[in-house]
Chains A and B, each alone.
Chain A
Amino acid sequence: MPQGLKAREARLAFWMLLPTFSIVIAIVILPVIANFWIAFKPIQLGDLRPPRPAVRESVRAQPAAVGEALVVRYRVQNRTDNPITWARIEDALPPGLTPAELPEACRVQGAKIVCELASGLEPGQTVNLTLRFTAGPAYFAAGAPYPRDTRPAVESRAPNPILARPFTLDNFRAVLSDPDFWPMLKVTLAYTVFGTVLSILLGLFAAQLLSPPFAGRQVLRGLFLFPYVAPVIAVAFTWVFLLDPFAGTINALLLKYGFVHDPIPFLSQRYWPVQFFGMTVQVPLALTMVILFEGWRYFPFAFLFILARLQAIPSELYEAARVDGAGIWASFRFVTLPQVVGILATLFLLRFIWTFNKFDDIFLLTGGAAGTETITIKVYDFAFARANLGQGAAQAVVLFAILALFLIVYFRYAPKGEV
């Protein structure tokens, strides 16, 4: 290819990829960097409101006749936790008023009062600006307007707290010394591993079920995808509704058939004692339910991929196995399994990462209560429930680090060529 054409192609490719790149950089890459930044800053949710002074105007003296005084006071307050470096207040000046005594910050400019606080306001600081005017005849000719009828316009400048606050390790200290840190990691691991394995196993079963052709197979395949394509909020709320201890269908069924004597609070109880050969085992109830939901909702994903793989296996392989005297189990074990093991490994990796990253499902089912608090729920809890963005971001960094560790270990030790 000629050199000029090549350069032109590269330039064209650049312009065609630019929009995608800009969006991904702006919405994925930069935020991740910003997350690291915030993790090292003591920032609360409230700091996101730009620090603005609150201004209250009051009329201290209202003139009754020409020559009397009109006194206006502006009470300027910084009610935020962040400094304001500069503020300016502008208000309309009724006609016929001559300034008698103005604070240093204020001046009359045409038909306006302008006050400028050049040195700003510290957090919690209040400045009172009292302005004294003498009323002339023009004031009364204009109908003696009440100064509070016009609202003061306020402008201010303040450093962005996200940039201005000092760097600190406090957020990480808070996150790592949280008493729930290790239990939360255990819950996350259990949820991720069991949820992943369950959804893949169910998917494998379902794919085996639908792999030989029969009437109605297409309809069933569509049906089996339902849990996966339906909006998470709809299916999660449906299961919450079905599992309700007082008015839920599942408990009503169990009671009706006499399997239990008291309703089971499936999603709100941490442990459920189960009699097992005379021993009482404490089963983590809510966590189990959440894992079952995970298996139910995501088995179609595994099902779809495994089914596609199963249908691509040449039937000669099975015939050859039959000729060799392999039974059904043997042909599954020695023909099917080796063919799907690659896709199973890929599915395991994908589902493992996505389950680890999963937030919506547990948040909607239990809100992280009753021993189902995973690391993503914890991020939300720190940042929004406790309104501490810095700690939430620090928790997110921990999440990120664990994820990176998984990926490194996986790509280091996984058999090559599977992914």
Chain B
Amino acid sequence: MALVLTLLVGLSAALASLGSVSLLLVLWGGLKTVFPLDAALAGGLLLGGLAWALARRRRLGSLPMVLAGIGLALVWALTAGGDPYRLGLGAFWNGLAPLTAGGLAGLAAAYGLREVRLERPDSEAWELVGLRLLRGAAFLVFVFMVVFPFWAMVAASLKPRAEFLADPANLGLPLSVFSEGFWPGLKKMLVGYREVLVTFKFLRYIGNTAFVSISTMFITLALAVLGAYAVARLEFRGRALMERAILLTYMFPAIVLAIPLYTIFTQLGLRDNLIGLIIVYLAQTLPVALYMLRSYFETIPASLEEAGLIDGCSRFEVIWRITLPLALPALASVGLYVFMIAWNEFLFAFMFLDTPELFTLSRGMVGLNSQEVPRQFLMAGAVIVTVPIMILFFWFEKYLVGGLTAGGVKG
């Protein structure tokens, strides 16, 4: 039974490592290569057998397994004429790829079998190893699934059309541009960004989007603080009912609002207008912002405010001097969340804006999605829309995650 377990681990480790290396070679190197299935099956079985033999003597360590993996890869490389991945590069690179893959396979197998009692594997050992294999596979799949499109977006934005069409599977950076020196090369690489920012006026759209998002953020915060404070601290009839109503608006489909708002805003002259857009975004973010802030205000002890009231401060002074400073983390969460919604919004920007001078980034992107515009520019635009959100996200991740979980960003 122990042998079956180690063979299973060896096979999985070899398949995952050799396959990943092959995929990376294709995606980053732009190389013609193969998926070495036979080698992975044979090598995996051998690796598993070796692990079984090693584990009979003493505890299985990582180093022997890595060495075993490299050794097996060496045999593989030699039998395949020194170039098992059929890369057709120099001897060094041809050899490095399979050896790396083999070493990784050994490491993965050692991790899979770590601290498993192989003398008499019980059901717990099987479950443990099964879970590790599943986790390992899931890690690979999830990381690839999340990183791949974003990496592709950046890589494609840096590549001229001809170079991309020559090999669409190659998502490596076009390093050949640097043959003319660093600065000219960089300039050539970033030509898509220059075109999009200047010729397609994305500089202007960035300004418009920032104006809309920042205005929405501050107005929402100001109004939501007032409303949330009222709901959290003051007594009035219909408080419970109002909370329900706020949550209900959360379920409203935007498309149902689209036709009447289009109609009404057209007749009021608010349609092709950034102020009109801000008003719509306010309505979309205010209920959730109010709800989130209210929950936070309720965690602040009322006694702090009562002290202020007794000292003769007015309600608004109390909010400004006592409540808001205490609620700064919540304000950051809610503010970021509102900013993100406004920045990313597509439907209303798309329907409302006709004048190119008023376009937000989402609206401007639609113009890049045409047969006449190179895909390189479309991807450069996508990067430009995404990067500010990503920077904010990494800077304030703690707050944003707080905001997301507290409000559950509608999406």
Contact = CB atoms under 8 A, between A and B. Distances in A.
Interface string A216-237: 0000111111111111111101
Contacts of B229: 16
B267 interface: yes
B382 A238 contact: yes
A392 interface: yes
B344 A27 contact: no
Contacts of A162: 263, 267
B183 interface: no
A32 B256 contact: yes
Interface string A332-357: 00000000000000000010011011
A249 interface: yes
B142 A327 contact: no
B408 A239 contact: no
B149 A35 contact: no
A19 B220 CA distance: 10
Contacts of A281: none
B39 to A, nearest CB: 15
B127 to A, nearest CB: 4
Given A23-B286, A304-B404, A230 B389 contact: yes
A228 to B, nearest CB: 7
A225 B259 contact: no
Interface stretch (A7-15, A82-90, A101-109): A7-15
Nearest to A35: B260
A169 interface: no
A323 to B, nearest CB: 14
A23 B278 CA distance: 11
B300 interface: no
B210 interface: no
B236 A9 contact: yes
B143 to A, nearest CB: 7
Residue of A12, A20, A399 most packed against chain B (CB within 10 A): A20
Contacts of B362: 231, 233
Interface in B171-205: 171
Given A19-B226, A223-B147, A403-B251, A393 B142 contact: no
A317 interface: no
Interface string B252-287: 111111111111101100000000000110110011
B259 A383 contact: yes
A229 B394 CA distance: 11
Nearest to B171: A249
A328 B128 contact: yes
B394 A222 contact: yes
Contacts of A359: 253-255, 347
B230 to A, nearest CB: 4
Contacts of A239: 149
A354 B284 CA distance: 14
A184 interface: no
B76 interface: no
Interface in B115-129: 123-124, 127-128
Interface stretch (B49-57, B59-67, B87-95, B161-169): B161-169
A267 interface: no
Interface in A363-403: 364, 376, 379-380, 383-384, 389, 392-393, 396, 399-400, 403
A31 B135 contact: no
Interface stretch (B8-16, B150-158, B325-333): B150-158
B35 A257 contact: yes
Contacts of B135: 209
A153 interface: no
Contacts of A223: 143, 146-147
B397 to A, nearest CB: 5
A161 to B, nearest CB: 10
Nearest to A5: B235
Interface in B366-411: 366, 369, 375, 378-379, 381-383, 385-386, 389-390, 393-394, 397, 400-401, 404-405, 408-411
Given A12-B230, A399-B255, A242 B236 contact: no
Size band of the interface chain B makes with A? 35 or more
Contacts of B390: 226, 229-230
Given A12-B315, A396-B256, A231 B286 contact: no
A261 interface: no
A379 B283 contact: no
A35 B256 contact: yes
A252 interface: yes
Interface string B107-149: 0000000000000000110011001000100110011011101
A407 to B, nearest CB: 7
A126 interface: no
B249 A28 contact: yes
Nearest to A356: B253
Contacts of B256: 31-32, 35, 379, 396, 399-400
A142 B171 CA distance: 75
Contact of A237 (B23, B227, B347, B378): B378
Nearest to B142: A206
B101 interface: no
B343 interface: yes
Contacts of A296: 145
B234 interface: yes
Nearest to B35: A257
A224 B150 CA distance: 12
Contacts of A209: 135, 138-139, 142
B351 A384 contact: yes
Nearest to A224: B146
B18 to A, nearest CB: 13
Given A27-B282, A399-B253, A229 B393 contact: yes
Interface in B193-237: 223-224, 226-227, 229-231, 234-237
Given A31-B256, A257-B34, A328-B127, 17 more contacts: A17-B231, A20-B287, A23-B282, A34-B260, A34-B263, A38-B259, A224-B142, A224-B146, A228-B409, A233-B344, A234-B386, A235-B149, A256-B32, A301-B408, A304-B404, A308-B405, A350-B408
Interface of B: 23, 26-27, 32-35, 123-124, 127-128, 131, 135, 138-139, 142-143, 145-147, 149-150, 152-153, 156, 164-165, 167-169, 171, 223-224, 226-227, 229-231, 234-237, 242, 246, 249, 251-264, 266-267, 279-280, 282-283, 286-287, 290, 315, 340, 343-344, 346-347, 351, 361-362, 365-366, 369, 375, 378-379, 381-383, 385-386, 389-390, 393-394, 397, 400-401, 404-405, 408-411
18 contacts: A1-B235, A10-B236, A13-B235, A19-B227, A222-B394, A230-B389, A231-B362, A234-B382, A238-B379, A242-B149, A252-B167, A253-B27, A256-B32, A257-B34, A304-B405, A357-B252, A376-B253, A400-B256
Interface of A: 1, 6, 9-10, 12-14, 16-17, 19-20, 23-24, 26-28, 30-32, 34-35, 38, 43, 48, 50, 160, 162, 205-206, 209, 220-235, 237-242, 247-249, 251-253, 256-257, 296, 298, 301, 304-305, 308, 327-329, 350, 353-354, 356-357, 359-360, 364, 376, 379-380, 383-384, 389, 392-393, 396, 399-400, 403, 407
**Ranked 5 nearest A-B pairs via Cβ:** A27-B283, A357-B253, A252-B169, A34-B260, A31-B260
